[in-house]
Amino acid sequence: MTLRILTGITTTGTPHLGNYVGAIRPAIAASRAAGVDSFFFLADYHALVKCDDPARIARSRLEIAATWLACGLDPARVTFYQQSDIPEIPKLTWLLTCVTAKGLLNRAHAYKAAVDQNTQNREDPDAAITAGLYMYPVLMAADILAFNANKVPVGRDQVQHIEMARDIGQRFNHIYGKAWRAAGGAGEPFVLPEAAIEESVATLPGLDGRKMSKSYDNTVPLFEGGARATREAIARIVTDSREPGEPKDPDSSSLFAIFRAFAGDAESTGFRHELESGLGWGEAKQKLFARIDAEIAPLRERYDALMAHPDDIEDALREGAQKARAVAQPRIETLCRAVGLGALGTRTAKSAGGTKKGAKRARIASFRDHDGFRFRVFAEDGEELLLSRAYADPKTAGAVAKALASQAVVGTLDAVRFGVTVAGERVAESPVFPDIAAREAGVKKLHAALASLREGE
């Protein structure tokens, strides 16, 4: 089952060890699971809401992209891009803005907190609050709804935003569902996303025992400043005044908690015993540094290499944007037609978004990813209908793609997906549709696409 998982990273800061343990490491591990189609993006438009220092925004975009790549995010396997490289996102933001109740935005936690602060300070309630802060949830809804993401892994503070994305999506579906189908869309315009909160991922404590956070100034840098900066930060971890030889309480200092985030159970238990039997704090800090560095040093090497070649990072993000736009562009075109912004005449309507020559045909696009050689099948209007399994060599993948038009047998896999077999072998699956009706519309579209492929042969 292919679940589309999407998450954004606001590009305002420099990643620290807490980000690595709490977000980066688990997200990359999850992106390697089978049956997930992961979208990761740099939320650089969102960053502008929080920061008006251009140098800092630019630097942070570079650092965060390099960090995720260095930590093992594989751009061949996932879709990794910058929000600002996807013109469909601000387009969709406006369509969504026009169905969003102002009252809904009035209730957003971040906006309300800013108003409360102003009221407390006896200022005008909206003093220094930008329309960007106010509109933040709509932009975030567009990030998610543009790609029909099923799950959105976020921290607790973002759950309200996901609920708002659902509300906004639902409202749009209600108003424009019919028009969407009349415009050639399948099922509902938007899948309603769900927040996925990682309960098992611990928040890392900082140097002073509070949650590691830039706003507390208690962080251990991840790569910035090299091994030396990591060592210096660790030396500043707050401990009690027990001397070497005195038993320590491992649970009363951040030191042990940070160690545990990097070590297996057996190693952690060993370290606990050492502390309890009088290991000095100084020595304990050395051991903590060694443990962290064993994991981070090889990543840091990759990070430094990437930071030395920003053009390569740019290339990876550009490619990611192409992949992302292949999904978003046809969707936004249909959405525009649905709200009445499509072409005025039939001649142009046929070629909307297409080549100047006339109507677009269904098409098959081959590509290579982490698992091998695959292809996708797109409908005339650009909607993605099938993703093939991975083949070890491009020849086989090509032969299967070719056989599809004449030999494909379409069957449903479950309520929200269909699949295709060729000569009795499952070769491709559909994306996840919002409901049975949408799946059925998808099956119809696939039959039309296969017919159009046969014609083109």
| Contacting residues toward ligand TRP, per CB under 6 A | 6-8, 10, 43, 46, 140, 143-144, 152, 154, 158
Residue 89 or 338: which CB sits closer to ligand TRP?
89
Distance CA 356, CA 375 (A): 25
Radius of gyration (Cα) for the chain, nearest Å?
Answer: 25
Give the Å distances, CA to CA, from 453 to 137, 356, 450. 41, 20, 5
Residue 89 or 450: which CB sits closer to ligand TRP?
89
Residue 46 or 374: which CB sits closer to ligand TRP?
46
Residue 6 or 237: which CB sits closer to ligand TRP?
6
Residue 158 or 430: which CB sits closer to ligand TRP?
158
Mode of pairing for the β-strands spanning 36-43 and 79-82: parallel
- Number of Cβ atoms within 10 Å of the Cβ of 260: 19
Q: Shortest Cβ distance from residue 6 to ligand TRP (Å)?
A: 6
Contacting residues for 346 by C-beta, under 8 A, at least 6 apart: none
Residue 143 or 429: which CB sits closer to ligand TRP?
143
Q: Shortest Cβ distance from residue 142 to ligand TRP (Å)?
A: 9
Residue 140 or 299: which CB sits closer to ligand TRP?
140
Residue 39 or 223: which CB sits closer to ligand TRP?
39
First to last CA, the chain: 31
Show contacts of 94-100: CB within 8 Å, 24+ apart. Answer: 95/172, 95/335, 95/336, 95/339, 96/138, 96/141, 96/142, 96/145, 96/168, 96/172, 97/135, 97/138, 99/168, 99/171, 99/172, 99/175, 99/176, 100/138, 100/141, 100/168, 100/171
Q: What stretches of 217-371 adopt beta strand conformation (E)?
A: 363-369
Q: Shortest Cβ distance from residue 4 to ligand TRP (Å)?
A: 12
State the residue number with the nearest CB to ligand TRP. 8
Q: Shortest Cβ distance from residue 361 to ligand TRP (Å)?
A: 34
Residue among 159, 87, 173, 154 at smallest CA distance from 435: 173
Q: Shortest Cβ distance from residue 405 to ligand TRP (Å)?
A: 37
Residue among 148, 162, 232 at smallest CA distance from 190: 148
Q: Shortest Cβ distance from residue 348 to ligand TRP (Å)?
A: 34
Residue among 143, 147, 154 at smallest CA distance from 46: 143
CA dihedral 325, 327, 330, 335 (to 10 degrees): -100
Residue among 400, 394, 401, 402 at smallest CA distance from 372: 394
Following DSSP, what letter does each residue of 145-156 receive, concatenated?
HTTT-SEEE--G
Q: Shortest Cβ distance from residue 28 to ligand TRP (Å)?
A: 16
Give the Å distances, CA to CA, from 147 to 3, 24, 89, 178, 213. 12, 21, 10, 20, 31
Residue 82 or 218: which CB sits closer to ligand TRP?
82
Q: Shortest Cβ distance from residue 162 to ligand TRP (Å)?
A: 7
Distance CA 435, CA 443 (A): 13
Contacting residues for 311 by C-beta, under 8 A, at least 6 apart: none
Q: Shortest Cβ distance from residue 199 to ligand TRP (Å)?
A: 17
Q: Shortest Cβ distance from residue 62 to ligand TRP (Å)?
A: 18
Per DSSP, what are the bridge partners of residue 443? none
Contacting residues for 403 by C-beta, under 8 A, at least 6 apart: 422, 423
Residue 73 or 154: which CB sits closer to ligand TRP?
154
Residue 29 CA, chain-centre distance (Å), reads 13
Residue 157 or 265: which CB sits closer to ligand TRP?
157
Q: Shortest Cβ distance from residue 7 to ligand TRP (Å)?
A: 4
